Amino acid sequence: MADEVANTMANEMANTAPIDVAVGILMQANGDVLLGQRPAGKPYAGYWEFPGGKVEAGESIFAALQREFVEELGIEVRSAEPWCCVDYAYPHAHVRLHFYISHDWRGEPQSLEGQAFAWQGSVECTPLLPATIPLIAWLDRMRFG
């Protein structure tokens, strides 16, 4: 029953305009990628995701990405390539996720907003946000053949 309610809410959300979200995949030379854990108090608290957040009015996607990485992790993303764009309707929001891949950043991740972070590759991070699961599978094909 709870699933039915969630599905109905998600279907209704799909009819609303999507919120743009900038999402960054920092990829190390060995293919490891950085994941963060959503903090308490947000929808899907405790789920793992790529760092990022909502694009503000008048902001470019890349500028939003750079701002979120500074705010959450104290990292300067120097350059990043747009990789793919995914629309997803959650019961709480309809999001348009703009995924960027970066090999070019400065600084070590620090948990400035209290979330956990991990380099995924050697470590398995679950649960993942639903919209992010297929992305990890595509990345794995790219990283490990």
Ligand X SMILES: Nc1nc2c([nH]c(=O)n2[C@@H]2O[C@H](COP(=O)(O)OP(=O)(O)OP(=O)(O)O)[C@@H](O)[C@H]2O)c(=O)[nH]1
Contacting positions for ligand X (CB under 6 A): 21, 23, 42, 44, 49-54, 88, 90, 93, 95, 97, 129, 131-132
Q: How many residues does the chain have?
A: 145
Residue 40 or 145: which CB sits closer to ligand X?
40
Q: How far is the CB of 53 from ligand X (least distance, A)?
A: 3
Residue 120 or 132: which CB sits closer to ligand X?
132
Strand (E) positions, the chain? 19-26, 33-37, 48-49, 52-54, 76-89, 94-106, 117-120
Residue 51 or 121: which CB sits closer to ligand X?
51
* Structural contact between residues 106 and 48, judged by C-beta atoms closer than 8 angstroms: no
Q: Quote the CA–CA distance of 91 and 6 in Å, as a whole number.
A: 6
Q: How far is the CB of 145 from ligand X (least distance, A)?
A: 23
Residue 31 or 53: which CB sits closer to ligand X?
53
Q: How far is the CB of 1 from ligand X (least distance, A)?
A: 23
Q: How far is the CB of 134 from ligand X (least distance, A)?
A: 11
Residue 31 or 44: which CB sits closer to ligand X?
44
Q: Which two tokens stand for residue 115?
A: 């979330």
Q: How far is the CB of 20 from ligand X (least distance, A)?
A: 10
CB-nearest residue to ligand X: 53
19-26 and 94-106 beta bridge pairing: parallel
CB neighbour class for 74 (10 Å; exposed up to 12, middle 13-18, buried from 19): middle
